[in-house]
Amino acid sequence: MAILIKKVKTAVGQMIHSIQRKVEYLRERLECMLGIYRVDIQHIYSPEENRLIEQSSELIQQFFPGPPGSLLLTEDFESRCEVIEDFAHRLIQIYGLENVEVIVTDDPELFSSDSGVIFGRTRVDQKTVYINANLLRLDNEDVLEHLVGTVIHELRHIMQFEIMTLVNTRGVSYQRRRAWRYTTANYVDAGLDMEAYSSQSIEFDARNFTNRIWQRAYGMSVPLGGH
């Protein structure tokens, strides 16, 4: 019996430690993802991009008159999924993206515990954005707020792909298109090198695009939180 109790204590201790590490990693990643991503006012967008930023900010205010995280916090999981998918569908219409899907899922092949904390993934070849349902279940205002921003961020990647492949350039300069193509060909995953990942042109642009929308809607960038 003593041996069994010891084994149980060891297993529980390992589980608690694993949870603590994941929470710590989540906080660190969010401080990285939210804290340093300020709006770059020097970054010049095309008239078409500025129009999309303005329309997106109007849409987000319609969906979330107040802080998105606090509003989602009052909803159950199913309602949160519906809000995220409906919001994404409206953005897809504004951006003029065809045959694009946004799916809330906890598919372990997309969001496994081994891959760390990932809010969303984009498969440009499938024209699909996946949002992490595991995080949408958390009753954490900052996490929920960042998931709303993730929808914009990931759809921007779909838009970038159309721009760099000349499906619809949206007035983006050749220099930016070339930089995005170079980044795509030499992409560094966040799990390998967070600093290198963050500084890549397509990631900078997706963050800045999202924060331009957030600033226009709420007068601030996507806020730094404890997640």
Looking up tokens 């984009």 gives 122
Give tens-digit pLDDT for 157-176: 999 999 999 999 999 999 99
| 197 located within any domain | yes
Looking up tokens 């060891």 gives 10
Whether the CB-CB separation of 100 and 157 falls below 8 Å is answered with: no
Give tens-digit pLDDT for 172-222: 999 999 999 999 999 998 878 888 988 999 999 999 999 999 999 988 655
Paired tokens of 16: 């608690």
Give tens-digit pLDDT for 26-63: 555 555 544 444 555 567 899 999 999 999 999 999 99
- Give the separation between CA 51 and CA 97, rounded to whole angstroms: 15
pTM to 2 decimal places: 0.80
| 206 located within any domain | yes
| 29 located within any domain | no
pLDDT of residue 224: 39
Closest CA to 133 of 104, 153, 155, 107: 104
State the virtual CA torsion across 57, 63, 65, 67 in degrees, nearest 10: -90
Q: Which residues pair with 120 in a beta bridge?
A: 131
| 136 located within any domain | yes
| 21 located within any domain | no
The total domain count for the chain is 1
| 4 located within any domain | no
Domain that holds residue 172: 35-218
